[in-house]
Structure 1
Amino acid sequence: MVKKLLCLCFSGMLIFISSGLKAQSDTGFEKYHTNREVQQMLNEFSSGNAKLHNIAESPGGEPITVLEIGANLSDVPAIFVGANFEGNVPLATEGALYLAKLLMDSTAYTKNVKWYIMPQPNPDASAVYFSALKTGQATNLFKINNDGDEATNEDGPDDLNGDGLITQMRIKSIEGSYIVSKEDARLMKKADKKEGERGAYKVLTEGFDNDKDGLYNEDGTGGINVGIAFPHLFPYENKEAGLFAGQTPEVYGILRFIFDRPEISMVYTLGTSNFCLVPPKGGRKGDANLDKLKIPRRYASMLNADANKTYTMNEAIELFKAVVSPGTEVTASLVASCLSLGPATNPLEDDLVFYEKYAEAYKKYLKAKDFSTETLDPVPAKDGSFELWAYYHLGVPSFSMQLFSVPKVKEEAKKEEDKDASDDKKKKEEKPDKKDELSEKDKTLLAYSDAELDGAGFVAWTKVDHPDFDEVEVGGYAPYLETTPKADKIEPLLATQLPWLLQLSNELPEFAIADKKVTDMGGGIFKLELYVANNGALPSPISMGQRNGQPAPVILTLDGDMELLEGKLRTPVGAIGANQVKKYAWLLKASKNTSITAGIESAVFTDVVEQIKIGG
């Protein structure tokens, strides 16, 4: 009987341990949570080693909070997780809460890493999903006069057909530039004049001209889109970004919070881009080519360089090293500043190496879980986005994840054509005219709406009365169609994908003194050689960090009863690749059997201290 009881207890322990990283069924992820419910969950989480920080208040009076998991830890790297910056991706908020629950339920990923999790940076926009009128807007309640008149927020969209959704209205007009698609009458397409097509409709957002200025819905409630209001590539031409980065309190609070915590060494963003699956895109114009740098004539003679020749960044660094004072650290950041290269706008090649490596690994991870990636492509990161700012300005690995994308249409196997049919007929049936063919996105969205949502993803066109037009119909894609699956899909999507971010947290750089060597040179003079290792799977810093001098440098220190003859007491470690070792050497004068202290200091990573005996 006792043996049987022990076996049952042991089996229960195994079940508990094996389920350590699975959010249990009582976690409440069977629905989308309102702003109030999100804050309630965060407050419930904030106990023990978790602490809730209130970092700002939205223009609508909602709190912006960050959950710190590992508040009892010090001298450890941290990971920052931000979700749903545009406010119209409620699944991303659920993802941040779910990730927090995973971390709270298991210590496997919180022993030596601190986590900062922000589920709702744009609560004003997030609240719209739960409102009676769903617009899909991404702006907060910051008051902006978008049309430059004497009123604010006076001309927003109106629900003309009373369905609680803001879609589009198509207006019969001889001045219109749209026609009904020949492939699917639900869709509108631009008339192609080259093909002799003449527009018959105007297409506008559903609503009235409330301020009678001839424009429709141009000055609605709000605001600033938090998701495009960060400093990197700030889109000044976009009114929804505000006048300058950080104008809205949510963004300023986030910037301040992160700058005050230099230990943040990696950033995750949950939203519509997906660096986990598709590495960051390049191709922006105006970026300096680091493989073909020109040395200005004013520097060429000083550097013994040829102003007519091009140099790689590494070659330029060597040119600078030859002329600076001994011991001066020459970095890519210093060279970029001296040569006035301007800000980087495209991901650096060395960084794309690890992005591509992890993208391939993530695909294999998803395949092993039988999770299909045959979906619409993720949206490229937008100018002014948080994920771009984290990579380009903080100089740390920035991974984004899109937790849901509409699955692509599975093409049915084509039936064998009648062998007697003419080749022309076959060609026409198998390859419809591309000018009239629906885009892959439209095909996918319509098929998904019909199959998964019983058609609710597309509002059928219905006639409505309008004071300004004779013939108006309202319809089109429903808000949140592309970002928000049914509630019963929430937990399966999160449980499958989010553990990958936990695995990535194991890849952080980790410093150690791998070896040491003391050589007696005679006369009380010793040569000390230390080998510093980065035992992590990511370089430190990444190439973008080297380019802009971020994050704070790792410093190798010496301390003790000695006289330093060559070298420095504080030596910047500089760049060390993943799983690589660098050697540092000093000449010093000391008595035999003296102990000195060697250390690795870092504002980002865990410090290392080691005692070294000289001449013993």
Structure 2
Amino acid sequence: MRVLALAFSFSLAAVAPASAQLSIAFDKYHSYAEMTAFLREAAQKYPDLASLSSIGKSYQGRELWMLTVTSRKTGAPDDKPALYVNGCLDSSEVVTSEGVLFTIKHLLESHGRDARVTRLLDRRTLYIVPRIMPDQTELYITTPQNARSQSAEPMDEDGDGRIDEDADDDVNGDGHVVQMRIADPNGDWKISDRDSRLMVRRQPGEFEGAFYRVLAEGIDDDGDGRYNEDRVGGIDPNRNFPGNWAPVHVQNGAGPYPLYVQEVRAEVEFLEKHRNIAGYLNHHSSGGVVLRPSTTHDDSTIPAGDLRVLRVLAAKALDETGYWLATSVYDWRWPPGTPDMKPGQTWRRPDGSLGNDPREAAGGPGGGFGADAEIDHVVPQAEGEATHAYAAYGGSIEFTYEMLGIISYASEQWRMAWDHDLNKDGAISDLERLDWNDRHFGGSLFINWTKARHPQLGEVEIGGWKKYTTSSPPPGKYLEEESARQLRFNLLVADMLPQLDVASAEATALGGGVYRVNARVRNAGYIPTATEMMVKVRRASPVVATLSAKGEVEFIKGPAAQPLGHLEGAPAGSAGAEWIVRVKGAAPVEVTVTASTPTAGRASRSVILK
């Protein structure tokens, strides 16, 4: 596709001197110890740009490392508008953590050499948490188990009074946990007549041929007739955030109450205390999708100005990443069976262009999408792709937007065989995935079905996709490319944060040592200094313009500190301030106008009264 070719032209814009280069390569997935060593190296080699701290501890006692990245020479981190980025909230989605580490490497090695990165770190702060749920991520990376996207605290998921007693098992000892197929005349699956590796659904009324049951590879460890039904952990951290949380009979994996998961609680407390955070990015996999709020309801409750910002930035993220869809979580494949072409969605056509782009006249809410708008392409589902039955209660980006008012996104990184859409229909079928594996990897990513002796089931066949294929890319070229996509998304949102600028400051002599001082303060960023939701939930601080003097002055009109309200994003967002002052003593006197608000930083401009 034309757009995708552009998306992958990215390369590191500048190469740091050998002494400052960080010793990490993206030809593997990194353990917790390796990640920790990299973060410590980053803080040690770049002390003016990076500092390492912990926002809390995991259930198993690991530090929740956070690298704060900004230029200390231009101000304290908490005094600048900030973007918060995390990876591995869903702990098995390990590509996200590697992308965060890739972002750190690029930022630190490029400052002072790349104009964009230099400007960004001079004026903004990034709070970066590469691995917010490190316990299960470590299990996933260092063992054959397919650790789930859940916390590590043991839970009794099958109601038998025991905890975590039926986890994955590597039945044939080959170092992989894949799938088992068992011959069964009542089975729901059969071998595809197009590729013997592919299992397809048995059709209604189909009675002739060989049929199978298909299970995850494992043993019935607790003797209840089920396999791998009580794995390690059991609470989904991305269903445990406050706000629109719901109990487990409504939302599976929600836990007993919101903020029960201590890693989630640590993140929430950090976000609440740092009022300079104006953007939140929470990376996931997979699908090649940019997600935005809401997660439990349609767009009708989102203020129009906020919705416009959310949709436009999501469309720009499609430009940067080459992904296929920008949508609210709620609308993504919901209701089941509906196409991803709803008024609030933006999709990529087979030719690479975007449909329902909010930056165009007929681009959905804010752009006039109507019943007569042309439906030019229905995004199909690939064979075997699961239907996401959202709403998603207790999700992170609904909390950060609806309770904190922060512009928030999640990504669904990586789409297996994204570059192998042979029939150009916009979907990647299972057959195309298998062909991609054969052509690019010599078939090595798929374990061919092989007979094995199961201690309970007797003869079975074991096979299927290896771990780093479907939800995270294989190490090497595809991992680095996917990490570069995340970097571009991170840079985009960081660039769009609100940023105060004192565009002008002028003094007019009125006689008798009296002067009028006028200033124009603007928001140079695209995101407003306070979203409409931030105002609604009473977390918004106004922009304040303050006049100070190097010398003694008397304020005749206007207080020294003047609230200017909230400023829209550029180019419209600006406000004026005026003071009339009398100089006490001899002129000239230098006065300075300083504008500040937590989400947009601080800016100053001086003028001489003479």
Instruction: Give yes or no for TM over 0.5.
Output: yes
Query: What is residue 68 of structure 1 aligned with on the other side?
Result: 68
Deviations 1:522-552 (A, max 9, x none): 9x99998653311223333345445544554
- Pair 394,195 (structure 1): closer, same or farther in 2 beyond 3 Å: farther
Q: Aligned partner of 1:19: which letter?
A: V
Query: What is residue 15 of structure 2 aligned with on the other side?
Result: 19
Q: Aligned partner of 2:498: which letter?
A: P
Q: Does 1:396 align with 2:406?
A: yes
Query: What is residue 57 of structure 1 aligned with on the other side?
Result: 57
Q: Does 1:167 align with 2:178?
A: yes
**Identical pairs, percent:** 26
- Pair 51,281 (structure 1): closer, same or farther in 2 beyond 3 Å: closer
Q: Does 1:249 align with 2:262?
A: yes
Query: What is residue 164 of structure 2 aligned with on the other side?
Result: 153
Q: CA deviation at 1:146?
A: 0.9
Q: Aligned partner of 2:471: which letter?
A: T
SS of alignment partner, residue 348 of structure 1: helix
Q: Does the CA-based 8 Å contact 2:183-2:460 persist in structure 1?
A: yes
Query: What is residue 452 of structure 1 aligned with on the other side?
Result: 440
Structure 2 CA distance for aligned equivalents of residues 589 and 131 of structure 1: 68
Structure 1 CA distance for aligned equivalents of residues 210 and 94 of structure 2: 37
Q: Does the CA-based 8 Å contact 2:91-2:134 persist in structure 1?
A: yes
SS of alignment partner, residue 235 of structure 2: coil
Query: What is residue 326 of structure 2 aligned with on the other side?
Result: none
Structure 1 CA distance for aligned equivalents of residues 38 and 108 of structure 2: 12
- Pair 519,583 (structure 1): closer, same or farther in 2 beyond 3 Å: farther
**Which one of 381, 390, 405 corresponds to residue 415 of structure 2?**
405
Matches within 5 A, 1:237-386: 237=248, 238-272=251-285, 278-280=289-291, 286-287=297-298, 289=300, 348-360=307-319, 363=322, 384-386=394-396
TM-score normalised over the length of structure 2: 0.70
- Pair 247,464 (structure 1): closer, same or farther in 2 beyond 3 Å: same
Q: Aligned partner of 1:360: which letter?
A: D
- Pair 232,186 (structure 1): closer, same or farther in 2 beyond 3 Å: farther
Matches within 5 A, 1:44-123: 44-47=41-44, 48-49=47-48, 50-70=50-70, 72=72, 73-74=75-76, 75-107=79-111, 108=118, 109-123=120-134
Query: What is residue 471 of structure 2 aligned with on the other side?
Result: 483
Matches within 5 A, 1:103-252: 103-107=107-111, 108=118, 109-193=120-204, 200-231=211-242, 233-234=244-245, 236-237=247-248, 238-252=251-265
Structure 1 CA distance for aligned equivalents of residues 146 and 277 of structure 2: 35
Deviations 1:383-405 (A, max 9, x none): 54445544444333335455543
Deviations 1:151-206 (A, max 9, x none): 11112222222222222223333543333334433333333327789994333222
- Pair 18,533 (structure 1): closer, same or farther in 2 beyond 3 Å: same
Query: What is residue 361 of structure 2 aligned with on the other side?
Result: none
Structure 1 CA distance for aligned equivalents of residues 292 and 70 of structure 2: 34
Q: Does the CA-based 8 Å contact 1:556-1:570 persist in structure 2?
A: yes
Query: What is residue 347 of structure 2 aligned with on the other side?
Result: none
Give 1 or 2: higher helix fraction: 1
- Pair 160,444 (structure 1): closer, same or farther in 2 beyond 3 Å: same
Q: Does the CA-based 8 Å contact 2:498-2:599 persist in structure 1?
A: no
SS of alignment partner, residue 258 of structure 1: helix
Deviations 1:250-284 (A, max 9, x none): 1111112222222222233343268xx75536797
Structure 2 CA distance for aligned equivalents of residues 227 and 278 of structure 1: 17
Query: What is residue 10 of structure 1 aligned with on the other side?
Result: none
Structure 1 CA distance for aligned equivalents of residues 238 and 90 of structure 2: 5
- Pair 449,260 (structure 1): closer, same or farther in 2 beyond 3 Å: same
Structure 2 CA distance for aligned equivalents of residues 148 and 195 of structure 1: 36
- Pair 598,32 (structure 1): closer, same or farther in 2 beyond 3 Å: same
Q: Does 1:600 align with 2:559?
A: no
Where does structure 2 lack aligned partners over 5 or more consecutive residues?
Answer: 1-11, 112-117, 324-350, 354-378
Give 1 or 2: higher strand fraction: 2
Q: Aligned partner of 1:607: which letter?
A: R
Q: Does the CA-based 8 Å contact 2:528-2:566 persist in structure 1?
A: no
Q: Aligned partner of 1:487: which letter?
A: P
Structure 2 CA distance for aligned equivalents of residues 154 and 462 of structure 1: 27
SS of alignment partner, residue 103 of structure 1: helix
Q: Does the CA-based 8 Å contact 2:317-2:489 persist in structure 1?
A: no
- Pair 193,503 (structure 1): closer, same or farther in 2 beyond 3 Å: closer
Structure 1 CA distance for aligned equivalents of residues 487 and 243 of structure 2: 27
Q: Aligned partner of 2:188: which letter?
A: S
Q: Does 1:35 align with 2:18?
A: no
Query: What is residue 452 of structure 2 aligned with on the other side?
Result: 464
Query: What is residue 342 of structure 1 aligned with on the other side?
Result: none
Q: CA deviation at 1:63?
A: 1.9
Q: CA deviation at 1:211?
A: 1.8
Q: CA deviation at 1:31?
A: 2.7
Structure 1 CA distance for aligned equivalents of residues 421 and 168 of structure 2: 38
Q: Aligned partner of 1:168: which letter?
A: Q
- Pair 223,280 (structure 1): closer, same or farther in 2 beyond 3 Å: closer
Bigger Cα displacement from structure 2, 166-175 vs 41-50: 166-175
Q: CA deviation at 1:244?
A: 3.0
Where does structure 1 lack aligned partners over 5 or more consecutive residues?
Answer: 1-15, 292-312, 315-331, 333-346, 365-371, 415-430, 432-438
Q: CA deviation at 1:352?
A: 1.0
Deviations 1:450-502 (A, max 9, x none): 22333333333333334554653333332331233333324455457625633
Q: Aligned partner of 1:254: which letter?
A: E
- Pair 535,117 (structure 1): closer, same or farther in 2 beyond 3 Å: same
SS of alignment partner, residue 144 of structure 1: coil
Deviations 1:211-231 (A, max 9, x none): 223332211222334344333
Deviations 1:276-298 (A, max 9, x none): x755367977447359xxxxxxx
- Pair 410,515 (structure 1): closer, same or farther in 2 beyond 3 Å: closer
Structure 2 CA distance for aligned equivalents of residues 61 and 283 of structure 1: 33
User: Aligned-pair RMSD on alpha carbons?
Assistant: 4.5
Structure 2 CA distance for aligned equivalents of residues 549 and 120 of structure 1: 31
Query: What is residue 536 of structure 1 aligned with on the other side?
Result: 525
- Pair 208,273 (structure 1): closer, same or farther in 2 beyond 3 Å: closer
Structure 1 CA distance for aligned equivalents of residues 560 and 205 of structure 2: 72
Q: Aligned partner of 1:395: which letter?
A: G
Q: Does the CA-based 8 Å contact 1:507-1:538 persist in structure 2?
A: yes
- Pair 27,189 (structure 1): closer, same or farther in 2 beyond 3 Å: closer
Structure 1 CA distance for aligned equivalents of residues 246 and 456 of structure 2: 34
Structure 2 CA distance for aligned equivalents of residues 385 and 484 of structure 1: 21
**Which one of 554, 558, 563 corresponds to residue 571 of structure 1?**
563
Bigger Cα displacement from structure 2, 533-542 vs 549-558: 549-558
TM-score normalised over the length of structure 1: 0.69
Q: Does the CA-based 8 Å contact 1:32-1:94 persist in structure 2?
A: yes
Q: Does the CA-based 8 Å contact 2:191-2:199 persist in structure 1?
A: yes
